[in-house]
Amino acid sequence: MHAVLGIRGEPGRPGDPAKGVVWTSIIEHINESNWVDNWISVTDIDRTLLSTHPWTLGGGGSLQVLQSIEAASVVTARTHIGRAGFFGITGFDELALADRATFRRWGVHEEFTKVHVAGDEVRDWTISPSEDIWYPYNERHLLPPYEAGAAVFLWPHRTHLGARKTFSGETYTESGRPWWSWHQLPDDAGLHTWVIAWSQVATHGHFAIGRKPWAFNSTATIMRLQQNATEDLHSGIAALLNSSTGCFWLKQHSQDKPSNGVKRGYESEAWT
């Protein structure tokens, strides 16, 4: 089947003289395989390629490059990954985040705070955190606020925290959950303590190895490898993901971030 790939302009509306060149090119060359001009690319593709996602519609040979990359693959990262996703969800970041000096003034014990990493703090192979976050867990066992030295700053907010909704739709108070607990904390027991973190929204791949027991918010996604993973394996996976080949592959498999909520698709930004 013929497919128009890689539209390099805003089609606009038919009849719009300022944007009609794209529509004209589509109409005149829709049946000309391998046509390429300043506005569109046309090629023949197997219909079965459109039966599953993602679709590669960039034109300019991008589909062939993607197929070459995947055909040359010997092993995938999935083989070594124990879990990929978020570190945890507090459900009250606006309260749980502060700098270390502020936590000290509140009397919070330092061992119950963690360095906090946001997505825009993962850049150019490095992680540069700027805040701490309250972490009321000792070996993943939840502690009451007074044991963590957090009663002074948390107690005034107990009603608000208890009114948070759980996944079942009940509030923390209704379901009997401790009002000071994190909303969700995945179990990573048996996996490597290091992480490979990346910025969830970025124009290019920004992957970095986190060797310290830090906390990462939902904009800084992480993967943990199997417990026996070596430093070389961590470095190798991070290097591949940060490479131009890795960036190209991710852009073919990731949804663009639209420039606005209305004009999705052809007017989207090149953000993965």
pLDDT in tens, 68-110: 888 888 888 889 999 999 999 999 999 999 999 999 999 999 9
pLDDT at 263 over 50: no
Q: What is the mean pLDDT of residues 38-42?
A: 82
pLDDT score of 265 = 45
Strands 207-210, 195-199: pairing is antiparallel
pLDDT score of 267 = 46
pLDDT score of 172 = 95
Q: How confident is the model at residue 269 (pLDDT cuts 50, 70, 90)?
A: low
Buried b (16+ CB within 10 A) or exposed e, 225-239: beeebeeeebeebbe
H-only helix segments in 5-157: 20-29, 62-71, 93-96, 100-106, 151-154
Q: What is the pLDDT of residues 153-162, one digit of tens each?
A: 999 999 999 9
SS3 content of the chain, % helix, strand, coil (to 5): 30, 20, 50
Q: How confident is the model at residue 33 (pLDDT cuts 50, 70, 90)?
A: confident
pLDDT at 125 over 80: yes
Q: Is there a contact between 10 and 23 (Cβ–Cβ < 8 Å)?
A: no
pLDDT score of 67 = 84
Q: What is the pLDDT of residues 47-76, one digit of tens each?
A: 887 787 777 777 777 888 888 888 888 888
Contacts of 133 (CB under 8 A, 6+ apart): 90, 93, 96, 97, 113, 114, 115, 116, 215
Q: What is the mean pLDDT of the chain?
A: 85
pLDDT score of 5 = 62
Q: Is there a contact between 45 and 75 (Cβ–Cβ < 8 Å)?
A: no
pLDDT score of 120 = 93
pLDDT at 132 over 50: yes
Q: What is the pLDDT of residues 211-260, one digit of tens each?
A: 999 999 989 999 999 999 999 999 999 999 999 999 888 888 877 766 54
CA dist 92 and 90 (Å) reads 5
Q: How confident is the model at residue 44 (pLDDT cuts 50, 70, 90)?
A: confident
Beta bridge partners of 188: none
Beta bridge partners of 267: none
Q: What is the pLDDT of residues 204-217, one digit of tens each?
A: 889 999 999 999 99
Task: Read off the DSSP letter of residue 120.
Answer: G
- Looking at per-residue confidence, does 268 or 217 come out higher? 217
Q: Is there a contact between 40 and 7 (Cβ–Cβ < 8 Å)?
A: yes
- Looking at per-residue confidence, does 267 or 141 come out higher? 141
CA dist 107 and 197 (Å) reads 31
CA dist 243 and 236 (Å) reads 11
SS3 207: strand
Of 210, 236, 243, which is closest to residue 224 (Cα–Cα)?
210
Q: What is the mean pLDDT of residues 26-44?
A: 83
Per the structure block, which two tokens stand in for 256? Answer: 């663009």
